[in-house]
């Protein structure tokens, strides 16, 4: 064999050997990486198995939420709740429970938690009110019409009944009814809603009145605090005038309602004036006069 040919075979053999060495080293490296990943996976699995919590078993119709969503502090009391889990961190109730239990109870605690958390972030005080709490009531009064016909006086102001079951007169000093004058006196300054309704029953004196026009006026007057108590210092704050043509019937019925909101001062007095006060229907619930603070 010639020397040149022998050198060519030797060079090819060396290249093949080098290539096999690289393959061997790559295989060893890949094996080591896979083994490392396998060991890491085994370690992670072992960690989760070691720290695994007991599974919370949910029975039929159970509703469960994390207890941390129902209270801000671990010492907060939660009644009527079934605590589950190793650390009692899951709160459950039965959905079919009614009244103060079941889902309504969970919702109530959740809303309280949300409000307390929100108000705490705003540095406000949280107070939960219940029906019957002794809280301050705004001034209110409602008077109803009398069961007898009213005649006079010349200023046409109506008088009212505050003792009827249909009336609201608390007599708590927040607002006062002057029975003799038919006036309501404001004892606390503020914005008030004023309203009044009257029903008139006009009797035809003779047939000549049929087809003629009748005029009726219904108004609420204000006597401002500190002003003289006379007719000249009364102020109309609500007023309506109606003109009706009499029908063929001997009795003509008219209903008038007026209402409005006004800023009133302590000591102000309010009254209702009707120019046809003798024709007011003697049915209490049809005629009324009321004031309440907004």
Pair (151, 258) in one structural domain: yes
Same domain, 199 and 248: yes
DSSP-derived secondary structure for 24-38:
HHHHHHHHHHHHHHH
Asked, for residue 9, whether it belongs to a domain, the answer is no
Tell me whether residue 24 is in a domain: no
> Residue 4 domain-assigned?
no
| Same structural domain, 183 and 100 | no
Instruction: Assess whether 278 and 236 both reside in one domain.
Output: yes
> Quick check: is 116 in a domain?
yes
CATH number at residue 286: 2.60.120.40
Number of domain units in the chain: 2
> What range does the domain containing 264 cover?
140-293
Calpha distance 160→269 (Å, rounded)? 14
Tens-digit pLDDT profile for residues 124-157? 554 554 555 445 678 999 999 888 887 665 567 8
Q: Is residue 43 part of a domain?
A: no
pLDDT of res. 177: 93
**Could you read off the pLDDT tens digit of each residue along the chain, which spans 294 residues?**
555 545 555 666 777 777 788 888 888 888 888 888 889 889 888 887 776 554 444 455 577 777 777 766 666 666 777 777 777 777 777 665 544 556 676 677 777 767 766 666 655 554 554 555 445 678 999 999 888 887 665 567 888 999 988 898 888 888 999 998 889 999 999 999 999 999 888 776 554 555 566 778 899 999 988 887 666 778 899 999 877 665 556 677 888 999 999 999 999 999 999 887 778 888 888 899 999 998
User: For residue 15, is it within any domain?
Assistant: no
Same domain, 68 and 176: no
- Based on the domain organization, do 261 and 194 belong to the same domain? yes
Per-residue pLDDT at 258: 94
CA 11 to CA 261: how far, in whole Å? 111
Q: Is residue 148 domain-shared with residue 233, that is, in the same domain?
A: yes
Given a contact cutoff of 8 angstroms between Cβ atoms, the answer to whether 167 and 143 are in contact is: yes
- Burial (0-12, 13-18, 19+ Cβ within 10 Å), 59: exposed
- Residues 76, 216, single domain; the answer is no
Domain membership flag for residue 134: no
In a domain, 115, yes or no: yes
Residue 260 backbone phi and psi in degrees, to 5: -175, 160
Same domain for 196 and 81? no
How much is the CA Rg of the chain, to the nearest whole Å? Answer: 44
């Amino acid at each position: 064999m010639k020397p040149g040919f022998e050198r060519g075979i030797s060079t090819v053999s060396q290249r093949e050997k080098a290539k096999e060495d690289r393959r061997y080293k790559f295989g060893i490296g890949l094996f080591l990486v896979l083994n490392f990943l396998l060991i890491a996976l085994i370690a992670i699995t072992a960690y989760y198995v070691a720290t695994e919590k007991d599974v919370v078993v949910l029975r039929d119709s159970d509703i469960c939420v994390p207890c941390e969503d129902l209270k801000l502090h671990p010492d907060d009391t939660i009644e009527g709740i079934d605590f589950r889990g190793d650390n009692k961190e899951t709160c459950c109730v039965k959905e079919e429970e009614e009244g103060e239990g079941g889902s309504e109870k969970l919702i109530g605690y959740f809303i309280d938690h949300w409000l307390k958390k929100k108000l705490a972030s705003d540095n406000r005080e949280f107070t939960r009110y219940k029906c019957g709490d002794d809280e301050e009531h705004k001034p209110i009064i409602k008077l109803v019409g009398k069961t007898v016909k009213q005649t006079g006086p010349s200023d046409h102001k109506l008088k009212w009944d505050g003792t009827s079951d249909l009336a609201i007169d608390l007599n708590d000093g927040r607002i006062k009814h002057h029975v003799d004058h038919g006036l309501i006196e404001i004892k606390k300054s503020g914005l008030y809603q004023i309203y009044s309704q009257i029903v008139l029953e006009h009797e035809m004196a003779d047939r000549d009145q049929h087809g003629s026009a009748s005029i009726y006026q219904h108004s609420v007057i204000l006597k401002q605090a500190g002003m003289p108590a006379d007719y000249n210092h009364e102020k109309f704050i609500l007023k309506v005038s109606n003109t009706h043509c009499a029908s063929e019937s001997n009795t003509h019925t008219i209903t008038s309602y007026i209402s409005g909101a006004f800023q009133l001062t302590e000591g102000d007095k309010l009254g209702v004036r009707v120019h046809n006060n003798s024709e007011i229907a003697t049915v209490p619930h049809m005629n009324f006069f009321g004031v309440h603070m907004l």
